[in-house]
Structure 1
Amino acid sequence: MDQLGGVGAGIAIALENFFPPLPSEVILPLAGFAASLGSFTLFGALFWTTLGSIVGALGLYSLGRWVGEARIRRAVDRLPLVDVDDLDRTTEWFRRHGRKAVFFGRMVPIFRSLISIPAGVTRMPIWQFTAFTTAGSLIWNSIFVIAGYQLGENWYRVEPYAETLQYIVIAVVVIAVAYAIVRRMRSKAEHNTDESAGTDK
């Protein structure tokens, strides 16, 4: 961090969007610690890490726009246990609530990166995407950078709390996905049963 400076911290955060195993929860407080040592200013740490968040998010947003909704629909149509109607409902929900999803998504581990792709797929206006990404990223980055700045050499104490939050998010997502799959299987089973009953009649 001393060698790369604030620009290096920004690059690391940009790369985190494409490679989530690079943990922002470690990079950000470390940047704050480096700022407390005078390697660069606190403002510089916040500026460069937030700029890195925006650049990385725009990269995934562009990927989503390039893939497009048509390609996503064709891919979903080939997947078992997934219905194109579900995709349509999800897309419609994102069109209505995309700004809130982007804003709060930037403050949720794992989803910080993923939320940019549906924004691109649904072609959210780029100025809106950039504005809400900036706001959400600035809040998230400020929490960890300032924590590292205040904790100094004890900056690493932030990490266990961030890991706990990440595990909670992963657990919630796994439960939600499992529930959705079970519900889909039951729905298809009931549909097949009704069709069989209709045929017997």
Structure 2
Amino acid sequence: MEAWVRNFLEEFGALGVGLLMLVENIFPPIPSEIVMPWSGYSVSQGDNSFIAVVAAGSIGSFAGAMFWYYLARWIGKDRLSRWIRGHGAWLTITPNDLDRVESWFERWGSVAVLVCRLVPGVRTLISVPAGFSTMSTLRFSLMTAIGVVIWTTLLAVIGWWLGDNYADLAGPLSWVSTLVIVGLVGWWLWRLLQQRKIRLQEANS
């Protein structure tokens, strides 16, 4: 993955940064923890402008977040809840879970959007409750913009600062992202088993 990202960015420069960050927010397996530090490293080598890569990365990330926000807003909570009733078992989600997420989001709102934009593995997911909640587009856009600029700038600065020693941190950053995703998958499997156990108990009672 890292070699492919490096080759892509070497060929397309800042435009490639924006494209990969857009895809990363729509299809998370392409981690920003590789894209942005490598972009910062390319700045240290004189291949790109720091402002250009941060701007491109932020715009791509912002566009990806807005995609999920508008999709959730278009679907709406009622339609999503009906779909979950019929197909939510494999996602280990129930309509009650959706209500709890909405209540939690209404409580934390802007703070949740801003903080979660800095957390690997959930940065994309936070756009969904924001979309079907009462959060305004302006408020969501502002918090998302602040979050993505902080995140992309931080990672780019790390890559730029490390320079030729970029490889020393590329691996650990990638592992952090991988561990978070593995943790989320493990949590999903545990929930799946718990729900299966409950259904078997109900069937036998």
Q: TM-score, normalized by length of structure 1?
A: 0.81
- Take 1:136 and 1:65, find their aligned partners in 2: how far apart are those partners? 20
Residue type matched to 1:148 in 2? G
- Take 1:2 and 1:151, find their aligned partners in 2: how far apart are those partners? 18
User: 1:29–1:156: 8 Å Cα contact kept in structure 2?
Assistant: no
Offset of 1:164 from its aligned partner?
A: 2.8
* Structure 2 counterpart of 1:53, from 58, 61, 65: 61
When residues 178 and 36 of structure 1 are mapped into structure 2, their CA distance, relative to the original with a 3 A threshold, is same
Offset of 1:183 from its aligned partner?
A: 6.5
User: SS of the residue aligned with 1:75?
Assistant: helix
User: SS of the residue aligned with 1:114?
Assistant: coil
- Take 2:82 and 2:194, find their aligned partners in 1: how far apart are those partners? 23
* Residue 17 of structure 2 is aligned to residue 9 of structure 1: yes
Q: How many residues are aligned here? A: 194
* Structure 1 counterpart of 2:144, from 133, 136, 144: 133
- Take 1:12 and 1:142, find their aligned partners in 2: how far apart are those partners? 15
Which position in structure 1 is the counterpart of 2:116?
A: 105
User: SS of the residue aligned with 2:158?
Assistant: helix
When residues 8 and 163 of structure 1 are mapped into structure 2, their CA distance, relative to the original with a 3 A threshold, is closer
Q: Tell me the C-alpha RMSD between the 2 structures.
A: 2.6
Offset of 1:17 from its aligned partner?
A: 1.0
Q: Deviations over 1:83-115 (max 9, x none)?
A: 422321221211221322211211122212222
User: 1:26–1:156: 8 Å Cα contact kept in structure 2?
Assistant: no
Which position in structure 1 is the counterpart of 2:5?
A: none
Offset of 1:186 from its aligned partner?
A: 7.6
* Residue 77 of structure 2 is aligned to residue 66 of structure 1: no
Offset of 1:128 from its aligned partner?
A: 1.3
- Take 1:132 and 1:7, find their aligned partners in 2: how far apart are those partners? 24
When residues 159 and 44 of structure 1 are mapped into structure 2, their CA distance, relative to the original with a 3 A threshold, is same
- Take 1:181 and 1:103, find their aligned partners in 2: how far apart are those partners? 30
User: SS of the residue aligned with 2:37?
Assistant: helix
Q: Deviations over 1:49-72 (max 9, x none)?
A: 112111111111111111111111
User: 2:33–2:177: 8 Å Cα contact kept in structure 1?
Assistant: no
User: SS of the residue aligned with 1:90?
Assistant: helix
Query: Higher mean Cα deviation, 29-38 or 183-192?
Result: 183-192
- Larger Rg, first or second structure (1 or 2): 1
* Structure 1 counterpart of 2:48, from 28, 40, 43: 40
Contiguous gaps of at least 5 residues in structure 1? 197-201
Q: TM-score, normalized by length of structure 2?
A: 0.79
Which position in structure 2 is the counterpart of 1:23?
A: 31
Contiguous gaps of at least 5 residues in structure 2? 1-8
- Take 1:110 and 1:64, find their aligned partners in 2: how far apart are those partners? 18
Offset of 1:151 from its aligned partner?
A: 1.8
Which position in structure 2 is the counterpart of 1:148?
A: 159
When residues 152 and 66 of structure 1 are mapped into structure 2, their CA distance, relative to the original with a 3 A threshold, is same
